[in-house]
Amino acid sequence: MNKALLTILLLVISNSFMTLAWYGQLKFKTNTLLPKWGLFGIIVISWGIAFFEYCFMIPANRIGFKDLGGPFSLVQLKVIQEVVTISIFVIFSLVFFRTQSFNYNHLIAFCLLIGAVYFVFR
């Protein structure tokens, strides 16, 4: 697998953990498997999940960074990461938060992010 694809794959995995850590805890209150956790307990659980985010994010950035032999500049890495983040978030919210809806303005914002990718690679 080439470095560009490996970087993007690692970013997808990393952002999946990040999204779960940041927003998954919002569903804990409706989960019958977990008792009512205090804020500290939720923070500890989220940090535990976020640990795995870093296990994939750091290698993704190191493999992908041009100065370390990768194909992407720092700015390109960041823009790719943001597009991956929003993509994972949309999928996550549609699957886990079915009551949330996406409107045309959300679609426009996503298209503008795709435009950012286009311009950062020019």
Distance from C-alpha of 56 to C-alpha of 64, rounded to nearest angstrom: 12
Per-residue pLDDT, averaged over 98-108, amounts to 80
pLDDT at 72: 96
Percent of the chain's residues with pLDDT above 70: 91
Predicted TM-score (pTM) of the model is 0.82
Indicate the pLDDT class of residue 101, thresholds 50, 70 and 90. Answer: confident
Q: Over range 4-23, report the average pLDDT.
A: 95
Residues 6+ apart with CB under 8 A from 66: 72, 73, 74
Model pLDDT, residue 28: 67
Give residue 49's region: left, alpha or beta (phi > 0; psi -120 to 50).
alpha
Across residues 11-23, what is the average pLDDT? Answer: 94
Of the candidates 16, 23, 20, the residue with the CA atom closest to the CA atom of residue 87:
16
Q: Is the pLDDT of residue 18 over 60?
A: yes
Tell me the one-letter amino acid at 5: L
Q: Are 65 and 72 in contact (CB under 8 A)?
A: yes
* Domain, as residue range, for 99: 3-120
Provide the number of structural domains found in the chain: 1
Indicate whether 33 pLDDT > 60: no
Identify the DSSP state of 34. Answer: S
pLDDT at 62 over 90: yes
pLDDT of the residue at 117: 81
Residues forming beta bridges with residue 72, ordered by sequence position: 65
AA letter at 29: K
Q: Which residues contact 58 (CB under 8 A, 6 or more apart)?
A: none
Backbone angles phi, psi at 16, to 5 degrees: -65, -45
CB atoms under 10 Å from CB of 19, counted, come to: 21
Does the structure show a pLDDT above 90 at 57? Answer: yes
